[in-house]
Structure 1
């Protein structure tokens, strides 16, 4: 943008992005109403009134050198599109704060001049064949869990102290990519303060090593594809595992903090790379760089190890003249194609990244993530979904803000049982996985709130199973559409539920081993 050109909604939003301000903060910076900033986002070709032009001139002139450089890069990068054919992808490239953060991160860690990442992503975006990306997504979705487990078993081999989680469930044998050990399984660990002991040691992210041209190019390609496909991606802090100390009946260890954009353009690329290798025979240079062997997988202190918590949810139901005896309802989700992690795979629900909301130290506990994910993924709390909007509440999980189902569950301590059933490191991307079990034993919950249980946008669909239907659950466990971490949580959850569920549970024994 030449300085003598009039401002438009698009260039005003570019200045906002260069200053790294939210809509509200940018409005306050200019002394205008937030709805005016929102209108610029909605109408990028709009030319603000003369007084607004002057305010924007002043804000640009007073910006520091770094912000002005970012603004120049934002306004000089254009896509090879027909005139007047600006797309949502183009708009996001210039105004989306997460994309801006990812581009800045990439410039810094690839040792590129400011603006290089934006030009690189723009060039790739202009030449993407979106139908071909959808076709590739369909091919990736056909890479089954069994093939993934076999491929990574061949890649990594064995180690004396750890092995891949494998379980025999009746007539079904399931092998996963979860690297674990006997001391990390059958934890039966209540996720209360006494037993849930993960601690935060550092908030400042550790600087990763410099990227080479191969890894930087793959990162730029990922960002271009996110824009082209319209995937949701929001920069947010994530916990990273620095050390782990897991033994019955407690989980401990230390956590640091990283950013979602760092995860998204580095180790999160390994799953897609593996799927492409299995469908087209392409090499795996990113895996060879980030997770080349088992010592690298286990050395969580010196690599990016993000991850999360996921739980099999079991809700007590009374006997029914049509369904039969009292049981537990078990919920399984098919993940949406719009999620970054485990897209189009089967998983237990809830499933979420381990991340802080507002209290980094208190949120370090695994139980905090699971309670939040229950609220978000099953009880309709969109206001704690940071992919939808910004979080401004001092305590998003304050009792006064809880959903009615969650408030009812917490009213009496024994209504909600949340336990960690196992821990492992996922060879797919190196993520840590805390498999857990959520049990609601009070039959009154389903009677009162069963109609309000609904998955959020992260799920394409929900499936219901009965804890008394052992045959169908065995068939479910053999489904090749599972994510590896989801299958791990399902089997460990069923194993524990069989111990504590009494007559509500009628499933064959589940025996695990570490291969």
Structure 2
């Protein structure tokens, strides 16, 4: 409760000082809060002082926040209700972003982070971020535990107000990020360009850098066409980290947001040989922590600039200038760290319904949670996951393997394939006798689950490679039998359902500024392919890819 009391105290002190809120608004807040706690609700100096101190008249601490109070705070002070209603964390969060956990080290976090902890006292913060701390100590050439100390100190410097703000992603529209990337990068790479579409006449730009031969691939994800290979079996040596304080800030944000961080290996793209009906190229292995504390920092740097109405340019983006200074650098896969993922529009056939209408496909779209490492609080297709090995480093290079695993994890509730869970003792989590009931049914007969890669591109925000895909289930018996079992996991804040026959609503959805750029890329490419093969179940908007 002390965490929320600190929130009230800090915000009220600031607002009273700035005199930006009316007496009536403060009165309404005090009345509501006092009524919930059985106290007189007059706007007196004594009541305000007691409220700021977080205690009742008898000295007892005030109780937990109620929904009505949280909504009032949200309206008056602009705080996010999800943050206000979230329980305080006893630790810095689990240690996972991309996968697996080590034995957690839980250290108590004080109810308020308003005082500077003693140097070396990591008991003031807690999480199993040891892999990230150790990695940064090594790469920055710091003495052991320096990162722990600096993160602890940074949390104390930030205080409650900034810590809360750190839990919320920057409110920057997808289109604004696309404009920023177009402004930063020149167009000097022949045959390549940013992915742009026109959806029922509405033009949409993205940050995905691609080329015509990487689009409309129509590539079934089968053993004969899904041919990425593992060439480098040892992770490349990380370069000395020359911007460690940005990484410290990132770790402090991970603490306050409860982001899951771990150091499971991920695939890095070394070469791409992508063409219609065939996915080729080579991958190696990389440390996820290295990515999280280097290339992934570019998104926050960009969003911060755009939110302050600063046009990104060379010299104003030190991290981007360091890691991705040009489009040529974006394409130079072998010379940089390039991790990425696979994401797919999921279309599931449904029978006709007297209320819903004729037979169609259910199109699933998620809003990402605040615990994911990127695209937090943004719209995306589902499944969406990092391209990384599960157990078999060589066989798992196939994009289809990642999509099947993510489908099991994100929609069918199979936690053993969640790389952020401690389930690493299972030799083969995707073995037929361990599959969920929906996935087992899909695997019983060939063709029940159709997977196609629809496009490939490099997201210039962080340099990630993205394999856009379409997952189709044409047998409507699946929806009848398993539709009620489909449930998004912790990576999603919410799950939405759209009809493939609702052209107007899908058009409005495509224009939503809440999309992540890679999510919209996969959504648009998936809709284009679904229009071609969906038959009478489909009435979707016209989507034209503009010349790159």
Give the alignment's TM-score, normalised by structure 1.
0.81
Instruction: Say which SS state the counterpart of residue 164 (structure 1) adopts.
Output: strand
- 1:178 aligned partner: 208
SS at match of 1:197: coil
Deviations along 1:143-199, whole A, 9 cap, x unmatched?
A: 000100011011112132211011111132211110000000000101111000000
Q: 2:509 aligns to what? A: 476
Which of residues 222, 244, 256 is equivalent to 1:228?
A: 256
Is 2:437 aligned against 1:407?
Answer: no
Partners of 2:396 and 2:527 in 1: CA distance: 27
Contact persistence 1:181–1:514 (CA under 8 A): no
Contact 1:162 1:514 in 2 (8 A): no
Q: 1:22 to 1:346 in 2, by over 3 A?
A: closer
Question: Superposed, which structure 2 residues align to 1:455-494 within 5 Å?
Answer: 455-494=488-527
Separation in 2, partners of 1:41, 1:223 = 16
Instruction: Find the counterpart in structure 2 of residue 197 from structure 1.
Output: 227
Name the residue aligned to 2:5. none
Q: Is the 8 A contact 1:372 1:397 kept in 2?
A: yes
Instruction: Look up the match of 2:325.
Output: 292
Give the Cα–Cα distance (whole angstroms) in 2 for the partners of residues 281 and 303 of structure 1.
Answer: 29
1:305-454 paired onto structure 2 within 5 Å = 305-454=338-487
Following TM superposition, the consecutive aligned residue runs of length 4 or more in structure 1 with deviations greater than 4 angstroms are 40-44
Match of 1:150 among 171, 179, 187: 179
Residue in 1 aligned with 2:36? none
Contact between 2:167 and 2:256, CA under 8 Å: does it hold in 1?
no
Distance in 2 (alpha carbons) for counterparts of 1:42 and 1:211: 28
Match 2:240 to one of 171, 193, 210: 210
Partner of residue 293, structure 2: 265
**Counterpart Cα distance in 2 of 1:509 and 1:369:** 30
Give the 5 Å matches for 1:68-87. 77-78=120-121
SS for the counterpart of 2:544 is strand
Partner of 1:503: 536
After superposition, the Cα gap between the structure-2 partners of 1:130 and 1:202, relative to the gap in structure 1 and judged at 3 Å, is farther
Question: Secondary structure at 1:240's aligned position in 2?
Answer: strand
The alignment's C-alpha RMSD in Å is: 1.9
SS in 2 for 1:127: helix
Give the aligned partner of residue 131 of structure 2: 101
2-structure distance, mates of 1:22, 1:391: 10
What is the CA distance between 1:413 and its match in structure 2?
0.5
Per the alignment, residue 280 of structure 2 pairs with 252
SS of the residue corresponding to residue 161 of structure 1 reads: coil
Q: Would the aligned equivalents of 2:266 and 2:389 in 1 still touch at CA under 8 Å?
A: yes
Residue 155 of structure 2 is aligned to residue 125 of structure 1:
yes
Residue 142 of structure 1, CA deviation: 1.8
Is the contact between residue 234 and residue 386 of structure 1 (CA under 8 Å) also seen in structure 2? no
Separation in 2, partners of 1:390, 1:130: 34
Q: Counterpart of 1:169? A: 199
Gapped regions of structure 2 (runs ≥ 5): 1-100, 110-117, 311-315
Per-residue deviation, 1:22: 5.0
Tell me, which stretches of 5 or more residues in structure 1 are unaligned?
A: 1-20, 24-37, 45-74, 80-85
TM-score when scaled to structure 2?
Answer: 0.76
C-alpha distance in structure 2 between counterparts of 1:136 and 1:514, whole Å: 38
How many residues get paired? 434
**How far, CA to CA, are the matches of 1:228 and 1:441 in structure 2?**
43
SS in 1 for 2:458: strand
Q: Is the 8 A contact 1:185 1:421 kept in 2?
A: yes
List per-residue Cα deviations over 1:99-148 (Å, max 9, x = no partner).
2111221122112233332322222123222432433554x442000100
Higher helix share: 1
